[in-house]
Structure 1
Amino acid sequence: MGLLARLKGVRTARQQAGDAAEDRALHYLAAQGMRLVERNFRCRGGEIDLIMQSGETLIFVEVRQRTGDSHGDAAASITPRKQARILLAAQIFLQRYREPPPCRIDVISIDGARLQWLRNAIQA
């Protein structure tokens, strides 16, 4: 994608597919009774796709999608480096709170048409 397209805010096909996967995950989690706190939280060193709340618990959600299985399933694509970046972003987000609420990190894995919710998938 050229510089002009980026400046105009044009999204690549890959970015659009990622947005659609996040939308699907968001609708699924909302149907489970969760409330969206923030989407696409970005900070220096990391990002979190969805931050949801269920009762008093904050849930940091990483959404991963794969259309084929030639490189393993979507959840397997979360490398130790990516896990560290998610943990860092979660720690930075929690600095907003005087007393951080209970929290966990979940993964929504989308492989083709199959969506799988992995609770507490990444631990500090």
Structure 2
Amino acid sequence: MTAYMGFFELCKPKMGEKVFVSAACGSIGSLVGQYAKLFGCYIDKLGFDDAFNYKEETHQSSTLRRYFHERIDIYFDNVGGKMLKVVIDNMNIFGRVVVCGATSEYTDIRKRAH
């Protein structure tokens, strides 16, 4: 339900739009990616159009421009942190963002409360 409602009800996709899903390897992200692809959107491998590992990319903004040279219409965010800022800087006017998670914050031990 989270993937379906987040994508269709909040993002309100249109056929042909460019969709970026962070952490598309997880249960929600992979469903959002499949919904986007089935709906006729361009989606970032695993049956998607392209993919990259955000943890391995040193220049995430350049990477996004390489895959989304026409910029991003919909961002389904499961990562948060630096990735969120980079994607917002690469979005089209009237683009939509759904924040579903912040895994970059969960896994950084320096950000955990003691």
TM-score (norm 1): 0.28
Specify the structure having the higher radius of gyration (Cα): 1
Q: Larger RCO: Structure 1 or Structure 2 (Cα < 8 Å, ≥ 6 residues apart)? A: 2
Using the size of structure 2 for normalisation, the TM-score is 0.30
Specify which structure has the higher proportion of strand.
1
